[in-house]
Structure 1
């Protein structure tokens, strides 16, 4: 019995579905730690700074793996590399169920980060290579809008699991990424664009990481990484400790804070998809600048709120503007040619994630010395810096129209 080769339309939609499914678990993996943080700190008797280091270890793993996994994807294919990334971080997250010490969790978070590093960059490369340019903003933003879905799912699972089974059991849910890995293996073929580019290379020739620092790409790589770093320092510094801010400094009960976080992520999901539409209309570069500035303005307003009603309303408004992660998913891949697309986009975003690794740790220190609100105000400043850095990067949509 023979099977027909999937048509371009099938590949396009399977990539969208598989990417959404896979990236959901990328987000869920990270936010499982944020939801369990209070209980880990109490159970293990560690400080806020020690708790922040657990998140930091994850991001360091992501930063270190991004270049290696990008190199593998550009040299050996998107599909197999993505499969192993999803498979390994799922296994390593679930293994925390058996961890009994801070050191064991630290090591497992670092190793899971090594697997996480390739998911974003390979998925956005797939989108860039299967969707037409005029729909890429919406396609990438939709796929990456699975991030707030994963975060909201982690929050909801925390409410269901932690009170009944404890925080260890929460991490078992991370194994769901294995299902996403097999979806790609079964339904999504290797990128045709990558295969065509690969066929033009000489036998044994490998793509070099140094190519993204060539004279034509160096500026894009440096400023892209800087913009991603500033945006993600603000985002991870804030998101890791936002549940603790609501509980400790706004006095919300644990379950209420978790449910507020779910609602906040609904605002983020809407923002991702609205900004994807905006990006296809006015350009991805302009949409990114608006997103960064919007986040820088709304976060200070949000943390100044004290009543439950105002926090409930303003949280989704702030989250609406954090769509820059989805926008970077459609913007960064088109900064680089197919030959180094995954390495280039992955370097900018995931090295940015790696450099943002210390934000949760320093936020923990600031919270201990001052307050969580002070740390969140500092995070808002980084969003503003990211917006300013974007002016040093090209307006790729305008350049494409001129071409």
Structure 2
């Protein structure tokens, strides 16, 4: 069934007329809420999928008898798939629509994740994680464009933050699944990790729902389908678009490095350096995700009131300080609080990335492609981080701390990029 069947029920992206006492929630059209549901749940399941790799690293080390550097390469390969999928998916979303691309992407990564359960070697894990990454990358690009183009300008930041709140939800679901599978055992080794990847195939059912029940973006339906659109790839290099594209790309690169450096290896850091039992480390990882939830909630309130730049910068400073505490303090209460604050800053900073990238490229004739290039090109930071941290962490606890410490430098560079970018609050998106 084609997504164009929803063309007659699509509502404009401007908000409904509001009286003095009207809540912002009542200013969002049904189309906006349905678009948010599709994008947010697609993103939730994507994050669940990504989290599986971090949670199963100790099991891969035991079952496949490989080094941390080799495991780091798996994370890099998965991130590479997400980069390729996100950029290609952006172009596909401009061509066939946001909704169709989103549904196909969810179905693709769900199938590849389920097959990972049958992997007989680390090589097969690498191949299947790359293939799953193709769908993961396309999922964010299509979903973020759908929400940015469906929610009204005055509340676009909230819509993006609500979509991105699927990040902690997906991580919490992964932690819960890992806890259930590992219950009564010391970890996920001896093949127990395979059950987690089987669970990762379930979003295939949601992909069908997205395809049948989600209206298409009104701005995409109103797009120009003439020669200007067909030449839009070259248009991204136009002088007016070059600087915002490169600035946004650099910013996303650094926050992706920050996120993946911490989230890929924090579970292993807690077990090997802080000598926590696997079950106890899950408590700290839950604190990380509750911090992310708090961060997303606060971001949704702040970003449309004080603007994009001060909100992003504040979150990055919180994240950098939290990492410093995690690497230097051993007291359990402080480590737990620092883990919570790391969730606020490191994960919460992503709450505004979708709307911000759309606003940075508000005049781009192929916004989906532009957002795909920025977010997924920036994922090269996420591809580099696992290998860089893993290489530094091979021998000693000091090396592990040095590897995770590179995330602080990434946060500082992200602040510089944000200060170089213009404030985009209130920008209208063109068709």
Give the TM-score range, shorter chain: over 0.9
Partner residue, 1:345: 371
Deviations 1:350-385 (CA, angstroms, capped at 9, x unpaired): 111134202101111111144322211111110111
SS of the equivalent of 2:117 reads helix
**Matching residue within 389, 392, 406 for 1:366:** 392
Partner residue, 1:174: 200
Unaligned runs of 5+ residues in structure 2 are: 12-28, 186-190
Deviates more, 1:388-397 or 1:156-165: 156-165
> Would the aligned equivalents of 1:70 and 1:346 in 2 still touch at CA under 8 Å?
yes
Deviations 1:240-290 (CA, angstroms, capped at 9, x unpaired): 000011111111110111222012101101101211211011111221122
Corresponding position: 1:184 with 2:184: no
Corresponding position: 1:225 with 2:249: yes
Partner residue, 1:357: 383
Counterpart Cα distance in 2 of 1:65 and 1:3: 26
Structure-2 change in CA distance of 1:308 and 1:339 (3 Å): same
SS of the equivalent of 1:15 reads helix
**Matching residue within 387, 406, 409 for 1:378:** 406
**Residues 102-141 of structure 1 aligned to structure 2 (within 5 Å):** 102-141=122-161
Structure-2 change in CA distance of 1:303 and 1:179 (3 Å): farther
Corresponding position: 1:390 with 2:410: no
Counterpart Cα distance in 2 of 1:21 and 1:399: 26
Corresponding position: 1:285 with 2:305: no
Structure-2 change in CA distance of 1:270 and 1:6 (3 Å): farther
SS of the equivalent of 2:102 reads helix
> Would the aligned equivalents of 2:48 and 2:173 in 1 still touch at CA under 8 Å?
yes
Counterpart Cα distance in 1 of 2:336 and 2:317: 22
Shift of 1:190: 1.5
Deviates more, 1:344-353 or 1:307-316: 307-316
Corresponding position: 1:325 with 2:350: yes
Partner residue, 1:62: 82
Partner residue, 2:278: 254
Between structures 1 and 2, the one with greater helix share: 1
Corresponding position: 1:79 with 2:99: yes
Shift of 1:203: 7.3
Partner residue, 1:157: 177
Partner residue, 2:292: 268
Structure-2 change in CA distance of 1:102 and 1:69 (3 Å): same
Partner residue, 2:220: 194
Counterpart Cα distance in 1 of 2:339 and 2:308: 25
Unaligned runs of 5+ residues in structure 1 are: none
Counterpart Cα distance in 2 of 1:326 and 1:118: 18
Counterpart Cα distance in 1 of 2:420 and 2:376: 20
Shift of 1:145: 0.9
> Would the aligned equivalents of 1:194 and 1:338 in 2 still touch at CA under 8 Å?
no
Partner residue, 1:49: 69
Deviations 1:22-47 (CA, angstroms, capped at 9, x unpaired): 11011110101111110111110000
Partner residue, 2:24: none
Counterpart Cα distance in 2 of 1:399 and 1:83: 28
Shift of 1:183: 2.4
Deviations 1:286-331 (CA, angstroms, capped at 9, x unpaired): 2112222221222112332213222222211221112121111121
> Would the aligned equivalents of 1:300 and 1:376 in 2 still touch at CA under 8 Å?
no
SS of the equivalent of 1:288 reads helix
Counterpart Cα distance in 2 of 1:333 and 1:98: 39
> Would the aligned equivalents of 1:75 and 1:206 in 2 still touch at CA under 8 Å?
no
Q: Pairwise CA RMSD of aligned residues?
A: 2.0
Deviations 1:139-181 (CA, angstroms, capped at 9, x unpaired): 1111111111111211111111135770111111111221331
